[in-house]
């Protein structure tokens, strides 16, 4: 445990940031899984709705530095291709 006042505050603020970062990352992963699941067994409208949510969550994670911008682009591209392949099936 730190003795210096600023170091104690840093420990507290890091704990708060960790909670927020965990939530953002976990919600992003859940949104991605929802898109993949709906692409397998859902309708095109459901896939499009889940894709919009996933893109928002991915952008938020990239903006806050939780994932690299290239990873964000790769994830969005992969999910969009999945949605487009679902549309061409019909």
Tens of pLDDT, residue by residue over 3-46, are 999 999 999 999 999 999 999 999 999 999 999 999 999 889 99
What residue ranges do the domains of the chain occupy? 5-89
Cα-based distances in Å from 2 to 12, 13, 16, 29, 38:
11, 14, 17, 34, 48
What pLDDT does 24 receive?
A: 97
What pLDDT does 90 receive?
A: 63
Q: What is the pTM of this model?
A: 0.89
Residue pLDDT, tens place only, 35-89:
999 999 988 999 999 999 999 999 999 999 999 999 999 999 999 999 999 888 7
Contact 72, 61 (CB under 8 A): yes
Pick the CATH number of 5-89 from 1.20.140.10, 1.20.120.530, 1.10.340.30, 1.20.58.110: 1.20.58.110
């Amino acid at each position: 445990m730190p003795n210096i006042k600023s170091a104690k505050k840093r420990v507290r603020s890091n704990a708060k940031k960790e909670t927020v970062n965990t939530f953002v990352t976990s919600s992003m992963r859940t949104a991605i899984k929802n898109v993949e699941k709906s692409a397998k067994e859902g309708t095109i409208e459901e896939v499009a709705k889940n894709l919009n949510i996933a893109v928002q969550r991915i952008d938020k994670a990239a903006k806050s530095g939780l994932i690299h911008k290239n990873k964000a682009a790769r994830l969005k591209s992969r999910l969009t291709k999945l949605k487009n392949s679902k549309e061409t099936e019909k």
